[in-house]
Structure 1
């Protein structure tokens, strides 16, 4: 098969949607090398090396080059037809219009509908654009991949799509999190970032929905160190001001710009991963923690029990006392930590690359 992908975020997004795009193309190449994979990008990225199996295509028309957004929404369909693409996979909730009159089959991955659930987090114009693009993609795609049962339910409820058109295929994570770390690697990374000997960890975008502030407040009356990893935001600055005001600067450590290999090692060093997010389409950091054999505390509703498995600990993300009690209980019980590590890693095997690659390839073949 010749399969085309929307590669804007594959090349130019270093976090969630970018990680999903890169991981999916990587595992398909690994387990199904007989196919041709073509990445459609609005511009040429740095350091991309094409191969016989993986190629890059940029806009061929003048207007496509002038307006990348127009190209991705409309004129890319002409390039797909010229390239004789058999299946086009929109990796981030959209597909170009104009493919319905062609033999090209289409798949779209929808990660979440947070802009509908929490409209106050988005500008009105952004909500309208997301709604239009995602509704169009859901209506016109031959198949929809939802990254969780939670997202599948939201697609049915909010976009009014028939259930039989949607299939759940979970996300995986970068191979770095699946590789055991040596004591030497741990020591090097611990020294590099001046990490405490023991600590709890939170990773992700530092924004109100992710709720890192609640973790800070939950450990305020304890001596438990907290490491928060994410880029600077207004919400992060708010947390930092609180930390300074309440003399927690030696207890709460902020890091950013961490390489994937170092991040995976930090996960493996952590005693507990704490993720009291209010809502996610899935929650890749949870999977990263499970593969790193790190006990997980996360939210007790939505997608979180689905992603974290039965042996993680679940809390009300708005209840600081409940979060604090869960942290202190696991922190003080090494036997509980060990049992959660073993059970969590076992649960994570359902997110293995070969499993996910087969599920996606079965969808391609079915259409």
Structure 2
């Protein structure tokens, strides 16, 4: 007999509130869970920008709060501290999955909590003071009260266990995936269209991600500037991503290096343009010092673009031997690696092939399958506990 579908409510707040990895994770996971035969998925949001919620999610919206991020965070943390439960808002749900670093307070309904990183512990200087204070106060409470925790990499899992002092059996590694739309774009007209839209010229080195301290863009800018002084180097550096917190130093560094139109900051790029942007790049550079997973380099590999990335945090786990892994603070190593990649077409072709193969291992279908299995394990454990209390 087929198992009964689990009624799971998934937090889509990051989909509406951010354009960073947290939002991409929640949206892709939720969309693929809708296709699971064992999960009856619904959503909830707390957002002041409901227009950003995908159209497909509204018919399955279980509950919503029309609040901005700060009010929502303060309300949730206060509810945990004074013992208020939100169970009534989730009536009829078997489990709630909180997909960003915020756990709704529930008493009778079990929760799964995704932790993307604990960088607020290891590098508090990379956070705004109010954000750091909130995470410091709230994350230990959330990690303790969640029934199960998903870590997006084994690196993050080990950090959660050691830094938040969570029992190892409570933390489960479930990697993120690559959306099928990320595949090599070969159509010259489409590639030219995207280059023209963003004012790019060939060849270019690409970075995609929010501009914030952990991304280590100062190093990339300095390495690129050193190469620009070499007569045979003619690449453009393209930085695609919105302004994150504490990003002023990046723009100051770019100005001091006098890169002119050799360096282009093109802002946030919509999803429909990303595959062509990745595919048109000759090199993808990702010097991030602390990535909980590292989705953009994986997307670049799926588009057939050779990757140079930092040998730090989760990136060796995700990229493996399919890219060049470099010390995140060694500017000379980055100069030499980018020079080598720019000059050696056979190396680029080899890494492109390895990257395509590596990226195929990470699918959102598998992420949804493993997440669904964890949901069922949590709900069954909840049932056993209730049965033990009320035989």
Q: TM-score, normalised by structure 2?
A: 0.84
Matched, 1:29 2:37: no
Q: 1:57 aligns with which of 58, 63, 74?
A: 63
**What do the CA deviations read for 1:15-71 (whole angstroms, capped 9, x no partner)?**
2211111111011113348613132435571275467972241249xx99x954455
Q: Is the 8 A contact 1:4 1:80 kept in 2?
A: no
Matched, 1:303 2:317: no
**What do the CA deviations read for 1:126-175 (whole angstroms, capped 9, x no partner)?**
32321232111211111110011111111111111111111111112444
Match of 1:341? Answer: 352
Q: Is the 8 A contact 2:185 2:275 kept in 1?
A: no
Matched, 1:78 2:78: no
Q: 1:92 aligns with which of 79, 97, 100?
A: 100
Deviation at 1:90, TM superposition (A): 0.8
Q: 2:8 aligns with which of 3, 6, 30?
A: 3
RMSD of Structure 2 on Structure 1 (CA)? 2.5
Assess, with a 3 A threshold, how the Cα gap between structure 1 residues 213 and 36 changes in structure 2: closer, same or farther. Answer: closer
Assess, with a 3 A threshold, how the Cα gap between structure 1 residues 315 and 26 changes in structure 2: closer, same or farther. Answer: same
User: What 5-or-longer segments of structure 1 have no aligned partner?
Assistant: none
Aligned residues: 357
Match of 1:262? Answer: 273
Structure-2 separation of matches of 1:43 and 1:219: 39
User: What 5-or-longer segments of structure 2 have no aligned partner?
Assistant: 1-5, 379-391
Match of 2:209? Answer: 204
Deviation at 1:236, TM superposition (A): 3.2
Structure-1 separation of matches of 2:16 and 2:296: 20
Alignment of 1:90-239 (within 5 A): 90-99=98-107, 102=108, 104-178=109-183, 180-220=185-225, 221-222=229-230, 223=233, 224-232=235-243, 233-239=247-253
Structure-2 separation of matches of 1:253 and 1:266: 13
Assess, with a 3 A threshold, how the Cα gap between structure 1 residues 229 and 43 changes in structure 2: closer, same or farther. Answer: closer
Structure-2 separation of matches of 1:362 and 1:87: 13
Deviation at 1:72, TM superposition (A): 4.0
Structure-1 separation of matches of 2:352 and 2:102: 37
**What do the CA deviations read for 1:211-231 (whole angstroms, capped 9, x no partner)?**
112122212233232111122
Q: Is the 8 A contact 2:150 2:174 kept in 1?
A: yes
Matched, 1:292 2:296: no
Structure-2 separation of matches of 1:47 and 1:227: 26
SS at match of 1:227: strand
Structure-1 separation of matches of 2:130 and 2:199: 43
Structure-2 separation of matches of 1:278 and 1:90: 26
SS at match of 1:130: helix
Match of 2:382? Answer: none
Structure-2 separation of matches of 1:313 and 1:47: 36
SS at match of 1:351: coil
Match of 2:387? Answer: none
Q: Is the 8 A contact 1:207 1:235 kept in 2?
A: no
Match of 1:321? Answer: 332
Assess, with a 3 A threshold, how the Cα gap between structure 1 residues 124 and 162 changes in structure 2: closer, same or farther. Answer: same
Q: TM-score, normalised by structure 1?
A: 0.89
Q: Is the 8 A contact 1:156 1:163 kept in 2?
A: yes
Structure-2 separation of matches of 1:45 and 1:77: 21
**What do the CA deviations read for 1:158-209 (whole angstroms, capped 9, x no partner)?**
1111111111111124443236452221121122223222111111122232
Assess, with a 3 A threshold, how the Cα gap between structure 1 residues 47 and 132 changes in structure 2: closer, same or farther. Answer: closer
Deviation at 1:333, TM superposition (A): 1.2
Structure-1 separation of matches of 2:274 and 2:56: 28
Structure-1 separation of matches of 2:12 and 2:85: 12
Match of 2:389? Answer: none
SS at match of 2:182: helix
